[in-house]
Chain A
Amino acid sequence: MNELIAQLTEWRAALIARRDALARRVPWWSRALATALIGIGIILPFFFSQDSGFMGATIVALAYVVMALGLNVVVGFAGLLDLGYVAFYALGAYSVGWFGSDFFFNAHTHVLVSALTSHEAGIHFNFVLILVCAVVITSVAGMLIGLPTLRLRSDYIAIVTLAFGEIIGVVATNGTSIHLGGGETLTAGNNGIPALDLPYFPGIGSFNLLQLRPWYWLIFTIMLLVLFINLRLRDSRLGRAWIALREDEVAAVSMGVPLVRTKLMAYAIGATFGGMSGVFLGAFDTTVSADQFQFSFSIFVLAMIIVGGLGSIWGAVLGALLLSYINYYLIPDVLNGLPHDLGLNFSLTQLSFGIFGFLLVLVMVLRPQGLFPERRRRLELTAAIAAEDAQLVEAQE
């Protein structure tokens, strides 16, 4: 009997230790906060009308959060400055154009689409299947773009990725003169591929552009998925390898971090998230046109993660929300009415990107480390300052 009690006490102690270890890793308030935020996220659309400008801006903002989380893997975790991220937006959006419209009119393929579209010509895949296609296409493209940069250091990586982004933009614009046979071309250039399929889920039905709530929940789900993957990646072996490479490539390689594989994984995974977001934005815009894929898009997403705090997941989320709300809600919907309300007779649309630029400068000058700096980097910054202070004290003595 005594033995049994001893055994039970032992087990109990082990269980408590395990529970405490778990709690130490993820404190209760953190879990409560996460649950509360997800809850608020789910019920948020009920507070706004289906077609309000705020709803549209929120959907786009969440898509940009996914973009920013993807770029954060490449630039923030692995330290590879990528200025051509627009390439993956383009490939994602074109995935919808290719596999979810009547663009390839000679084909006649339908997989799990609504009854309405199943009679149309072209390739029509279910939205989830298009997502999978985009993941495959963009991860391969990400690795291809990554290959020539393996030997280069940071700013050269920036210019090579920029070059790839621009080349993909040029190919998209001139895709009308790349013939695939049978009168089909690669892209529709600046005219755009119109009338993309709206997402359809068996049992739920087809989305439409008058009711924005389903769109919101869809992108919210994608965002949660990507956020979860990102959090798990950061603490994984791969994530630590990225950070090691970022901090000191030579040291990391000599400790046995496989350089090529680790860097290519960063490009591929970052590209994948960009592609997923691109699929969603393409479907939400219902058209994919070459003039959407400008260099300024890459800069916009990069600004999000730097304003948020480079390498920090929550910083990327916050930065993406902040800058997209400024760009898609504050400037067009709120500030534009301001001069009129004040009795002035001019429009702010002319000033929109000047205001945006001014806000960028302001945020960075006031908070150079970003709104929500990564824990590791914050430690580095404060540690450096403490060391400097110690030196100063020593010098004074």
Chain B
Amino acid sequence: MPEPAVRVLAALRRYAGRWGLYVALVALPAYYGIHDLTHGYQAGFQAGHPVVRHDLTQLGFNLVEGLSNGAIWALIAMGYTLVYGIIELINFAHGDVFMIGSFVAVGLWGTLGLGLATGPVGLIAGLLLTLLVCMAVCGSLNVLIERVAYRPLRNAPKLAPLITAVGCSFILQNVGLLWLGSSPQGVNDLIRENDTVFQISGVIVHRADVLALGVMIPLVIALTWFITNTRQGRAMRATAQDPEAARLMGINVNTTISLTFLLGGMLAGAAGLVYALYETTVWYFQGFEAGLIAFTAAVMGGIGNVRGAVLGGLIIGCIQELSDSRLGPQWTEAVVFGYLILVMVLRPRGLLGEETREAG
């Protein structure tokens, strides 16, 4: 190839590496925004005629829904990223721990007698109690799984714990199958999720959106604070960087790893409760699908990186929502994974960079 062509190609590649990802991420909302403005979209019927509007309200609505949906993925993705950061294991059972969280929430509502007729005070108290129980149950479950299935394999070949993770995932799915049956179960819409809370220039924000973000944001802040400011959090970061050196410095590596699984499980439990309220259906296979999406989110953000997991979750939520409402839900999975491949090609370490041993 002649010299100038080579130089142009190299420059193109450099720019693609730096900006390509942002272009790709903005492309989808930008395209549909321009499409809405120029071609308009159908916003319901009035007097038998379709109402066509030319504004960005629908796009805004998609993005709000996407963010709140993504908040659930973010909660699950943090569990993946914490575990991967510390023992470099793709914890396939994590999605199913989240599913168990949803089931515990639904079961507990039945026990507590929470229903559509419950008053607001009772409802809030009940939901807070459910949140705590879900987090406790899922946290302990995750610790138990680590103790039984991953710890004995600490020094085994790297892929061995991957298979025990799959085994645990199957066992939990089977528990879910026996618990609530093989078809999706409808759940009482306790919070009347489709009630409008407020509007920003025509974009409606539902109760479900407020709930999802309202649970996710405090938990993310608490987790970040814990990791950066407490002694245990420092131990976690040290173990993630170099378990051997951490052990020599007097850190109990096994306890620290258990703590990581506890935190990841608690976040998954919270996500389980939010999911049950948000989607108002639960079934035993939800954990598998959510796990796949959340793991994708963790990788997209840069695995091992907590802020990256949150960002990845929110972005994937938005991509899903846009694809659901514009292309049709049957293509959503392909769109999400297509984006994932783009991210991996354009920025192999994820959006915010990975924080693992190999990345140094």
Contacts and interface: CB of A to CB of B under 8 A. Distances in A.
Contacts of B99: none
Interface string A131-165: 00000000000000000110111011011101110
> What is the interface of chain A mostly: helix, strand, loop, or mixed?
helix
B167 A358 contact: yes
Contacts of B160: 306, 364, 368-370
B153 A364 contact: yes
B168 A361 contact: yes
B345 A148 contact: yes
Contacts of B164: 360-361, 364-365
A310 interface: yes
A368 B156 contact: yes
Interface in B307-338: 330-331, 333-334, 337-338
B344 A160 contact: yes
B299 A365 contact: no
Interface stretch (B122-130, B174-182, B259-267, B270-278): B174-182
A310 B157 CA distance: 9
Contacts of A365: 148-149, 152-153, 164
Contact of B163 (A153, A360, A369): A360
A127 B160 CA distance: 38
A354 interface: yes
A364 B153 CA distance: 8
Interface of B is mostly: helix
Given A173-B330, A307-B163, A156 B344 contact: yes
Interface residues of B, number: 46
Given A148-B345, A151-B348, A152-B344, A357 B168 contact: yes
A166 B293 CA distance: 11
> Interface range on chain A: under 10, 10 to 19, 20 to 34, or 35 or more?
35 or more
A350 interface: yes
A295 interface: yes
Interface string A194-205: 000000000000
A170 B289 CA distance: 14
B252 to A, nearest CB: 22
Interface in B168-205: 168-171, 173-175, 177-178
B157 A368 contact: yes
Given A360-B166, A360-B170, A81 B333 contact: no
Interface in A340-397: 350-351, 353-354, 356-361, 364-365, 368-370, 377
B159 A81 contact: yes
Contacts of A295: 288, 292
B153 A368 contact: yes
B181 to A, nearest CB: 10
Contacts of A164: 337, 341
A369 B341 contact: no
